Amino acid sequence: MRIHVGTINIPTAGTRVQLSSHTGIKATDRVLWLHFSPREDNTGEIFVGMSDVSSTQGFELDPGGANKQKDKLIMDFRGVGGSVPAGDIWFDADTNANKVDFALIFED
């Protein structure tokens, strides 16, 4: 197994960004475990999904703020005996210049 930690930038709302666009991640890398968390200074929501994710559709991650808890997404595919190709994971946002931090565990 190997771990990869970083940040995905979503510069333009409505324009999907693929996880495998990040340096050091290939579309064929198999994700065993993932953790996604939006940056607290984001101005809008992050959406996580597959190639059909959009700025209004997907698993929504709220950056939190005053009196509001920041969202996170944690998935462990090892418990169901599988993994997901990194190329299948995409992000979008409903406002420009948002970021999502991540930690991943890959198969070797």
Full set of structural domains in the chain with CATH: 2-106 (2.60.120)
If pLDDT is split at 50, 70 and 90, which confidence band does 79 have?
A: confident
Mean pLDDT across the chain: 94
The CA–CA distances, whole Å, from 100 to 6, 12, 19, 78, 79 equal 9, 14, 10, 23, 24
Tell me the per-residue pLDDT of 45-76, one tens digit each, with 9 for 90 and over. Answer: 999 999 999 999 999 999 987 667 889 999 99
User: Phi, psi at residue 21, to the nearest 5°?
Assistant: -75, -15
pLDDT at 32: 97
Please determine, for residue 81, whether its predicted confidence score (pLDDT) is greater than 90.
no
pTM of the model: 0.92
The percent of residues above 70 in pLDDT, for the chain, comes to 98
